[in-house]
Amino acid sequence: MDIQTLSHYVLGPVRLWTVDREEPSQYIEVRDGRIQKISGQPPSDTSIPKIDGKNFVLMPAGVDAQVHLRVPGQEHKETAETGLMAAVKGGYAAILTMPNTKPVIDNVKVLKEAMDSVRTYEERFGVRVFWTAAITENLSSSKVTPIEDLAKAGIKALTNDGLGVLSDEVMEESFKRLAPLGIPLLQHAEFLGHGGSLAPSSVQESLKVKPYPESAEIDMVVRDLKVLKKCPEARYHILHITSGKVVPLVREAREQGLKVTCEVTPHHLYFSGEDIDPKNTSFKMNPPLRSPEDRQLLWEGLENGDVDFVSTDHAPHEPLVKSGSFDEVAFGTLGLETTLGVLTWGYREGKLSRRRWVEVFSLKPAQFLGLDSSYGDLQVGQEIRGILFDLEAPDHLIQEKDFSSLSKNSCFIGSHLPGKLIKSFLGSKVISCE
């Protein structure tokens, strides 16, 4: 990875992709990190340094609304440096990090220390880190965290990600306190007690591991929507949905006027439970891969807008906790560096339109987090946050050695994904990603 700081340059020709535009042979003039001009003709001033776009696609860089950066206290899994390097390699301009760290981000002191610890790497790579805090103290008590103070300190959302909130009373109190702040509650929808590792499938049966039922997800979503009706001004977001039966629940709740959103991960779009490699424990994630029919319903929901956007649930783990049987190992797989390949595959297969690709990768999560308009778009006058992408690049083998993440627990290792990220343009930084 090569990082340059350029004050003035022209990028072109490129195929410009935004939600509203698809234009060939465009030239983008950038000065001091901001887009000065977009034109179908190269500038007449030949002294301006030029970056050959080779007619690759230039599109808005991604925004990932669910990342386990593992900061603070879990730097044996991921560091701020390796995590943001992985984000750049995945085409992202911003990430939202989860609070299930050591210590848990459940108070302003821990939050501010964590924010301070990543600033050097934000500046180096040009990727912004946005923050969440826990709903309950230490993720386990029934005492709700100091929401108002955390909001003032800059959090974008509240979540106990990794654990579902079991208490109706805690959910209702959280909704009531979050509603006037406009901050969403992100729910890991899972009622505990099932003890399962993999969703029911032929692979799960052959491995003789306990099944993880879809009812654990569906029942919590149903419960949450009932509680939400008591506080309809609150924002409720369902993390990493896996069951196709959740999609109509979300649609119906919106029709009733509730502020409900949801997301899906790349691995739940690309794999089903029948695709699990019994030798790769990175296929154990929470929630699990479900049926081919569920997978198809998730694609359909993503394309028609019932599913709002794609988030990776990037969950790095060291080899020790991913070694053993599927019943024994930790949940979690990497995600940041393989999303573009999955979306390219979905686009080629006709599962995802060009417009929705830009929305689900960039614009919609940016809007969800309330980021400024330079995230999710490419417009004159804005700071540039874009990626140059070879849409026609052939399928390439995903190998462990290719990951920038400190951990290497990816369920995509051994798969072949299309497309290739060439460069990222993040403000004044031009980063070669080949």
Q: Average pLDDT of each block of 10 consecutive residues along the chain (434 residues)? A: 96 98 97 98 94 97 99 98 99 99 98 98 98 97 95 98 96 98 98 96 97 98 99 99 99 98 99 98 98 99 99 98 97 99 99 99 99 97 98 97 98 98 98 92
* Contact predicate 423/401, CB 8 Å: no
Q: Is residue 375 part of a domain?
A: no
For residue 130, what pLDDT is reported?
99
Q: Is residue 248 part of a domain?
A: yes
Rounded Cα distance, 256 and 298, in Å: 22
Rounded Cα distance, 130 and 378, in Å: 21
Rounded Cα distance, 315 and 95, in Å: 13
Q: Which two tokens stand for residue 76?
A: 């044996």
Q: Where are the beta strands (DSSP E) in 147-304?
A: 157-159, 185-187, 235-238, 259-264
Rounded Cα distance, 359 and 353, in Å: 10
Single out the catalytic residue among 306, 313, 377, 390: 313
Same domain, yes or no: 35 and 153: no
For residue 141, what pLDDT is reported?
81
For residue 272, what pLDDT is reported?
99
For residue 434, what pLDDT is reported?
82
Same domain, yes or no: 25 and 100: no
Same domain, yes or no: 33 and 112: no
Bond prior to 13 in cis (omega within 30° of 0): yes
For residue 75, what pLDDT is reported?
97
Rounded Cα distance, 215 and 197, in Å: 14
What are the DSSP calls for 183-215, one per residue? Answer: PPEEE----S----SB-SSHHHHHHTPPB--TH
For residue 370, what pLDDT is reported?
98
Same domain, yes or no: 140 and 276: yes
Question: Which residues lie below 8 Å from residue 116, measured CB to CB, with a gap of 6+?
Answer: none
Rounded Cα distance, 104 and 99, in Å: 6
Q: Is 313 part of the annotated catalytic residue set? A: yes
Domain that holds residue 342: 59-368
Same domain, yes or no: 35 and 154: no
Angle, CA 319 vertex, CA 318 and CA 322 arms, to 5°: 100
Q: Is residue 414 part of a domain?
A: no
Same domain, yes or no: 231 and 354: yes
Rounded Cα distance, 189 and 243, in Å: 11
Q: Considering its fold, how many domains does the chain have in total?
A: 2
Q: Is residue 409 part of a domain?
A: no
